[in-house]
Chains A and B, each alone.
Chain A
Amino acid sequence: DAKTTQPPSMDCAEGRAANLPCNHSTISGNEYVYWYRQIHSQGPQYIIHGLKNNETNEMASLIITEDRKSSTLILPHATLRDTAVYYCIVRVGDSLNNAGNMLTFGGGTRLMVKP
């Protein structure tokens, strides 16, 4: 799976949008971008994923650049409960015939939402 690069930490004011960047310049055509977050001492929580189109769900939006070499996770109105470590992971989508469900976690971005 491709390596990702994320800033180690970011701050965001409560109520403002949090924009978390991720670089994945060696991403392959069949690799998806996944975002997970981990609130202190809990299991990682799935947020969103995408291949090349922008995606939105009830938690966040994912913006993927046209060349797919980077992406941004957007939490539109950050709350204190969004304080967590956010992981950007790229992996092959075909879990049946390829590498299965192995996720390679990097260091992530520690997002601190402040009042």
Chain B
Amino acid sequence: KAGVTQTPRYLIKTRGQQVTLSCSPISGHRSVSWYQQTPGQGLQFLFEYFSETQRNKGNFPGRFSGRQFSNSRSEMNVSTLELGDSALYLCASSFIGVKDTEAFFGQGTRLTVV
């Protein structure tokens, strides 16, 4: 079974630009979560989408947004990029249920803002 696919793997953008990252979850998984990883702050939760609705949101400014499509694929967008947005952005997909479920992560998109 194919894993979580994130595109692109690497990206270089200039301050002030905007960027869109894509995540294709494992087939059958309807929950997609996004995380930001930086050396200083570690792994931080950005938001989660389930059935095309944002269900949880972390403590990030409104420049960070996302959406989920009917096929469960998700995109996240960062507008007005700042140098501090340079990070590894990770997407995780999960099956949703009333019992324990695990999240499966993609390889991430490494964003560099110059």
Contacts and interface: CB of A to CB of B under 8 A. Distances in A.
Nearest to B88: A41
A43 B56 contact: no
A45 B92 CA distance: 10
Given A100-B48, A102-B45, A43 B107 contact: yes
B50 A100 contact: yes
Given A49-B102, A100-B56, A95 B96 contact: yes
B57 to A, nearest CB: 9
Contacts, number: 79
B98 to A, nearest CB: 5
Interface string A26-68: 0000001010000001111110010100000000000000000
B96 A101 contact: yes
Contacts of B99: 93-94
Interface residues of B, number: 31
A101 B33 contact: yes
A105 B99 CA distance: 21
A113 to B, nearest CB: 22
Given A101-B103, A102-B33, A95 B42 contact: no
A43 B100 contact: no
B48 A101 contact: yes
Q: Is the interface of B mostly helix, strand, loop or mixed?
A: strand
Contacts of B48: 100-102
B40 to A, nearest CB: 12
Interface centre among B88, B90, B102 (most CB of A within 10 A): B102
Size category of the binding interface on chain A: 20 to 34
Contacts of A43: 4, 90, 92, 105-108
Contacts of B35: 103, 105
A101 B42 CA distance: 18
Given A43-B90, A99-B56, A102-B45, A49 B100 contact: yes
Contact of A102 (B56, B101, B102, B106): B56
Interface in B4-34: 4, 31, 33
A42 B98 contact: no
Interface of A: 32, 34, 41-46, 49, 51, 87, 93-97, 99-107
